[in-house]
Amino acid sequence: MGKKILLEHINVPGIETYEVFRKMGGYASVEKALKTKTPLEVVEEVKKSGLRGRGGAGFPTGLKWSFIDKKSGNPRQLVCNADESEPGTFKDRYLMEKLPHLLVEGMIVSSFALEAHLSYIYIRGEYMWVFRILEKAIKEAYAAGWLGKNIQGSGYDLDLHVTCGAGAYICGEETALIESLEGKRGNPRIKPPFPAVVGLYGNPTVVNNVETIMDIPWIVNNGGEEFAKFGIGKSTGTKLISASGNIKKPGVYEIELSIPVEEFVMSDEYCGGMQTDRPLKACVPGGSSVPILPANLLFKTAKGETRLMTYESMSDGGFATGSMIGSGGFIVYDDRACIVRNTWNFARFYHHESCGQCSPCREGTGWMEKVLWRIEHGFGNIEDIDLLWDIQRKIEGNTICPLGDAAAWPVAAAIRHFRDEFEFHIRYPEKVKDRKHFEKEPWEQVKHLVKKEDAVLV
């Protein structure tokens, strides 16, 4: 069994309740931090841990905390990002349902480190029942003296509340989240200024992912150096991976940031191998925004090294032959899946979720969706592939927020690795009329139709 930081007590009956959580050592980090450490010491401990943000970008948390503006004298704020809407990602929900008090505990210690006295958890509106779970946990924490004035006699005050979104992926982007938390449309802000200087209500604000916040109590209890003993190099600690798609055991797994990808997919401890023992075709390892990897680049890097579940190894080869660990949304495709259809599905998602502020994103995502629709449904032209390539390239880097890039990358990667499949759709439209085309006739059986010509060319 791999070592656990977050899910160590997950199977203890009643761990979601205050009493059991407390009995298992819950809230100890609050006592330790508030009574024996200064806020700066907590930040230092987090820096030593090497913890990187678990929301997707992987930015070092301690460093981010040290950027928060203290000069202005404005009140500092911590906001927990529980918007979790990146396709393939369902780990934060699992954490909050099972360990709501660990999030409250993490929010208290993290707020203390930032010297914040008013913090919020922003949760996606669809998780309404989880919203209630958190409300209850917060109420219990107030009642037990972990929140409010003069927490446990330490002299530190903190108010914590949970608030919700209402169905907008873009509100996971930190500045859109802040706008939404102010009761407005979720339009991302232009940066700079960064939230660390001008955030919620114009005050210095840190936005952190649920899992990031939940790692903090362990770091405070055991020390940053202990945390850094997990994992390899700059990938320290553990990470929750939410695995879905054509595998035997979809679900949420805590892995040490060091195990081979092959072990994660094939071992019984994690995904348990392929759903119906069909061949693995591709994988999107870090949520819909990261590049898709074909099977031959998943377990091994282009250099032929074992690919590991670490930030570095997953991105080895850059976008040409690598991907990203991202949010940990690990989607596995077997040979019945159609990459064109999947890419269209993602493009539709990004078009639907674009806030519409910048034209490359607003128009480009819609255009890509249309072109992909026609290729998938057998109405494509051979020029469409280059057209798609062109559109995605013109979105990337030309928008206010990274949603534009997130929409462009999956399209680019699909063309890069599966160009044949696009061509097949265009040249054999009658073969893709049925939505389940590759279920009836897997790609392996038909690929010679487009590959043959390539062979002649070579």
Ligand X SMILES: Cc1cc2nc3c(=O)[nH]c(=O)nc-3n(C[C@H](O)[C@H](O)[C@H](O)COP(=O)(O)O)c2cc1C
Q: Which does 394 bind (CB under 5 to 8 A by kind): another protein, ligand SF4, ligand X, none?
A: none
Beta bridge partners, 162, equal: 121
Question: Which of 349, 409, 424, 438 is the binder for another protein (CB under 8 A)?
Answer: 349
Q: Which residue lies nearer to ligand X by CB, 20 or 57?
A: 57
CA 201 to chain centroid, in Å, comes to 26
Residues that bind ligand X (CB under 6 A): 53-57, 59, 81, 83-86, 170, 172-174, 207-209, 212, 401-403, 406
CB of 183 vs another protein, minimal distance in Å: 4
Judged by CB under 8 A, the stretch of 174-182, 226-234, 316-324, 360-368 that binds another protein is 174-182
CA 394 to chain centroid, in Å, comes to 25
CB of 124 vs another protein, minimal distance in Å: 7
Q: Which residue lies nearer to another protein by CB, 51 or 340?
A: 340
Q: Which does 320 bind (CB under 5 to 8 A by kind): another protein, ligand X, ligand SF4, none?
A: none
From residue 235, alpha-carbon distances to 48, 50, 139, 208 in Å are 12, 8, 35, 18
Q: Which does 404 bind (CB under 5 to 8 A by kind): another protein, ligand X, ligand SF4, none?
A: ligand SF4
CA–CA separation, 320 and 302 (whole Å): 9
Nearest residue to 213 (alpha-carbon basis) of 134, 125, 128: 134
Per-residue x/- track, 236-275, another protein (CB under 8 A): ------xxxxx---xxx-----------------------
Under the binding rule (CB under 8 A), the answer on residue 198 touching another protein is no
Under the binding rule (CB under 8 A), the answer on residue 435 touching another protein is yes
Q: Which residue lies nearer to another protein by CB, 185 or 451?
A: 185
The helix-helix angle for 91-98 and 128-143 (nearest 10°) equals 40
Q: Which residue lies nearer to another protein by CB, 84 or 105?
A: 84
Beta bridge partners, 79, equal: 120, 207
Q: Which residue lies nearer to another protein by CB, 26 or 291?
A: 291
Q: Which residue lies nearer to ligand X by CB, 86 or 256?
A: 86
Overall residue count recorded for the chain in this entry: 458
CA–CA separation, 451 and 229 (whole Å): 48
Token pair for 13:
């009956």
The site for another protein, by CB under 8 A, has a size of: 57
Q: Which residue lies nearer to another protein by CB, 283 or 426?
A: 283
User: 329: helix, coil or strand?
Assistant: strand
Residues that bind ligand SF4 (CB under 6 A): 170, 188, 354-358, 361-362, 399-401, 403-404
User: 213: helix, coil or strand?
Assistant: helix
CA–CA separation, 141 and 108 (whole Å): 10
The helix-helix angle for 39-49 and 100-114 (nearest 10°) equals 120
Nearest residue to 86 (alpha-carbon basis) of 413, 359, 357, 346: 346
User: 449: helix, coil or strand?
Assistant: helix
CA 136 to chain centroid, in Å, comes to 26
Site of interaction with another protein (CB under 8 A): 84-90, 92-93, 118, 124-129, 131-132, 135, 161, 163-169, 180-186, 201, 242-246, 250-252, 284, 288, 329, 331, 333, 337, 341-342, 345-346, 349, 352-353, 435
